[in-house]
């Protein structure tokens, strides 16, 4: 079934977004918003099918049509320090929506994946256009595996969905409505009480304090996952000292 915008609006109390756009099919909701020059701020775009969905590290984001959530929203940011906070805000809003609706506690995998038992079901791609004179255009794209139950062979060991985890069909409209309400409710904290979001995010961050390896796609480093700082950077205590990473892919390190 197609995503139902009316049902979404019926379930959300939030006035945070100014406009909602639904496409049954689009290249990528992130690309659509990046290309849009006016009416961009606080506009949410949702689709049932992406022909060129993108993930982090220029990977493809493939999602079965009509089953999952794929949406992006635009924000105009006036202070660069907010950019690194977006990640915490959005990841936590999704995590909490799932916990509130289904009493199910997922885990955060740095920087912004949601996982359970080592399998990922949600990812975020944040892309920014920084123009020196104007405000920064930020596009936050979220992909959540909701009702998909079959995955390509090469993904089966690493990927799951909420339906597989909870053993029931989930209303995408009710889930997105709750995510939106959470984004709205905690937006003020981004500016005024960021430490609240930051601390809660860290409490749910899997692997913190453990031995990990981290790769940027070319090199691999090993060490203790010491911290995620206020900027969202991962702090690794390696044999050669402290090293910070602003992006990368982490895995548990077998000792």
Q: Which residues bind ligand BTN (CB under 6 A)?
A: 28-30, 50, 53-56, 59, 61, 70-72, 113, 123-125, 141-143
| Helix, strand, coil abundance in the chain, percent, nearest 5 | 30, 30, 40
Smallest gap from residue 249 Cβ to ligand BTN (A) = 10
Smallest gap from residue 29 Cβ to ligand BTN (A) = 4
Of 113 and 173, the one with the shorter C-beta distance to ligand BTN is: 113
Of 189 and 206, the one with the shorter C-beta distance to ligand BTN is: 206
Of 36 and 226, the one with the shorter C-beta distance to ligand BTN is: 36
For ligand BTN, the nearest residue by Cβ is 123
Q: Judge whether 176 and 46 are in contact, CB under 8 Å.
A: yes
Exposed/middle/buried for residue 74 (C-beta within 10 Å: 0-12, 13-18, 19+): buried
Q: Judge whether 82 and 190 are in contact, CB under 8 Å.
A: yes
Q: Judge whether 113 and 158 are in contact, CB under 8 Å.
A: no
For residue 111, the number of C-alpha atoms closer than 13 Å in the C-beta half-sphere is 27
Smallest gap from residue 158 Cβ to ligand BTN (A) = 11
Smallest gap from residue 109 Cβ to ligand BTN (A) = 10
Smallest gap from residue 11 Cβ to ligand BTN (A) = 20
Quick one: which of 29, 33, 21 has its CA closest to 137?
33
Exposed/middle/buried for residue 191 (C-beta within 10 Å: 0-12, 13-18, 19+): exposed
């Amino acid at each position: 079934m197609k995503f139902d915008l009316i049902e979404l609006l019926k379930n959300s109390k939030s006035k945070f977004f100014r406009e909602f756009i639904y496409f049954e099919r689009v290249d990528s909701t992130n690309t659509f918003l990046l290309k849009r020059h006016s009416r961009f701020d606080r506009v949410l775009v949702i689709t049932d099918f992406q022909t060129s969905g993108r993930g982090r590290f220029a990977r493809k984001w493939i999602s079965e049509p009509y089953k999952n959530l794929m949406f992006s929203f635009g924000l105009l940011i006036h202070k660069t320090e907010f950019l690194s906070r977006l990640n915490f805000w959005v990841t936590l809003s999704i995590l909490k929506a799932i916990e509130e609706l289904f009493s199910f506690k997922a885990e955060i995998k740095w920087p912004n994946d949601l996982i359970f038992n080592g399998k990922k079901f949600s990812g975020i791609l944040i892309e920014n256009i920084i123009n020196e004179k104007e405000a920064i255009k930020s596009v936050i794209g979220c992909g959540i595996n909701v009702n998909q139950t079959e995955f390509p062979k090469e993904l089966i060991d690493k990927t799951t969905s909420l339906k597989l985890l909870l053993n029931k069909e989930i209303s995408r409209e009710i889930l997105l409505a709750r995510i939106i309400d959470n984004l709205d409710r905690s937006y003020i904290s981004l500016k005024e009480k960021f430490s609240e979001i930051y601390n809660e995010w860290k409490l749910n961050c899997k692997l913190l304090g453990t031995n990990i390896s981290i790769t940027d796609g070319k090199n691999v480093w090993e060490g203790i996952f010491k911290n995620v700082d206020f900027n969202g950077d991962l702090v690794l205590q390696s044999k050669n000292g402290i090293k910070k990473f602003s992006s990368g892919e982490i895995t548990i390190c077998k000792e």
